Amino acid sequence: MLIPVSLITVIATVALAQEPGLPAGCVGSYPDPLYCSDKGGWFNPNPDKCFPLDGNPRPSEKVYIQDESNFCLNLPNRNSVYLNQAYYSQGRKPTIVDAEGYVQSYCVGGVPPGALPMPAGAIQAAHVIKNFTIPGQRYMQIWGYLNCDPLNIECAGTAADPFYGAGQYDSGAFEHCGKEPYSGVNQDKNPGFSVYYMKAGSVGDRPGFCMRVCEGDHGVGMPCDISSPGQDVKGCATVMPGLVFNEGFSFMDVANQVVTTVTKDVPTTTLASTSNTVVSQTVSVSSVVNTTTPSKSASHPLASVGSFITLICISFFF
């Protein structure tokens, strides 16, 4: 693994910093990149010197999904020592990829211990599917649009890569020098759901996200599969078949195919005032898919095809 000089400088600057919930000198919940590079890279045989003091998964890195008004996403931690030194103090914002290893759970609705409230105006649309139809493979799924300004992260694409900066967070087991080894699912909110994966960042014309929390494991063919080749650079619509990005807030239980829509007043930068109007209707899964606006297909984790540029970025961080 090649470590940029700038990153080594930042690591040296924060080497004596204390990140809450971690051993002294640790700025992320994994061995720092310099340590990994010096000690054998990804397959470092040594115990993690930065194993969190506050448990595994960390309370501050637990996600959950209950409905379109009650969920937690892992997003870049605005209070991170590392992100403040490497980005915010320099007037820059991190992307999803930049912030791997430095996440915080931000919640809409119920805010469990360790989590923080979602910044007002950050969630611009949210759709939830409950699929409990296959025992052992139950899952909850959410996707929607983000306003990245309140999140203090960079989600805008570039001319060269419209999907710049998007990436994947998941609960993959600690692999020596891997990222996000200590995030997971809140068992109080989603009992029995042991794994998750989430993709977020630019979807081309605007920022978006998608996430599943699942029973079982991350194995091939499971609802939270991160083991199939290239899964971390495949788009939401590929790894979550039938998903399309569209406006609004909704909930659907696949068992009865009833969609409940919630109308919210969502200004560009604030969610201070919301008015909820609940409307129930019976529809089929196919009609939900076919009557919404198709997502833009392009080369990025949030689109349908993997991007070589994104693969390079994500490969560095995994």
pLDDT of residue 50: 80
Which among 35, 240, 227, 255 has a CA at the least distance from the CA of 134?
A: 255
What is the DSSP code string of 132-177?
Answer: --STT--EEEEEEEE-HHHHT------SS-TTTT-EEEE-PPP-SS
pLDDT of residue 119: 96
Dihedral-angle region of residue 96 (phi above 0 means left; psi in -120 to 50 means alpha; beta otherwise): alpha
Kindly state whether residue 251 falls inside one of the protein's structural domains: yes
Q: CA torsion angle for 149, 150, 153, 158 (degrees, to 10)?
A: -20
- Among 194-203, 233-242, 269-278, 308-317, the least confident range: 308-317
Dihedral-angle region of residue 275 (phi above 0 means left; psi in -120 to 50 means alpha; beta otherwise): beta
d(CA 108, CA 68): 9
Q: Domain range spanning residue 76?
A: 57-317
- Write the pLDDT tens digit of every residue in 167-226: 899 998 665 555 566 899 999 999 999 999 999 988 767 899 999 999 999 999 999 999
Kindly state whether residue 47 falls inside one of the protein's structural domains: no
d(CA 252, CA 263): 15
Kindly state whether residue 70 falls inside one of the protein's structural domains: yes
Cis preceding-peptide flag for 57 (omega within 30 of 0): yes
Domain total for the chain? 1
Instruction: Show the beta-strand stretches assigned E in the chain.
Output: 62-67, 70-76, 103-108, 116-117, 123-131, 139-146, 167-170, 184-185, 195-202, 207-214, 249-253, 258-262, 278-282
Mean residue pLDDT across the chain: 77
d(CA 34, CA 1): 9
DSSP β-ladder status, 207-214 and 195-202 = antiparallel
> With 90 as the cut, is the pLDDT of residue 122 above it?
yes
d(CA 141, CA 130): 7
DSSP β-ladder status, 249-253 and 207-214 = unpaired
Residue % of the chain over a pLDDT of 90: 48
**Secondary structure letter of residue 296 according to DSSP:** P
pLDDT of residue 295: 28
The reported pTM is: 0.79
Give residue 292's identity as a one-letter amino acid code. Answer: T
- Looking at per-residue confidence, does 305 or 133 come out higher? 133
d(CA 144, CA 128): 9
- Write the pLDDT tens digit of every residue in 12-21: 444 456 788 9
Kindly state whether residue 16 falls inside one of the protein's structural domains: no
Average pLDDT score over residue span 153-158? 87
If one counts every other C-beta atom within 10 angstroms of the C-beta of residue 274, the result is 12
CA angle 145/149/154 to nearest 5° reads 85
d(CA 190, CA 194): 9
Kindly state whether residue 42 falls inside one of the protein's structural domains: no
Kindly state whether residue 270 falls inside one of the protein's structural domains: yes
Contact, 68 vs 62, CB < 8 A? Answer: no
Kindly state whether residue 33 falls inside one of the protein's structural domains: no
CA atoms within 13 A on the CB side of 153: 32
Kindly state whether residue 21 falls inside one of the protein's structural domains: no
- Looking at per-residue confidence, does 17 or 229 come out higher? 229
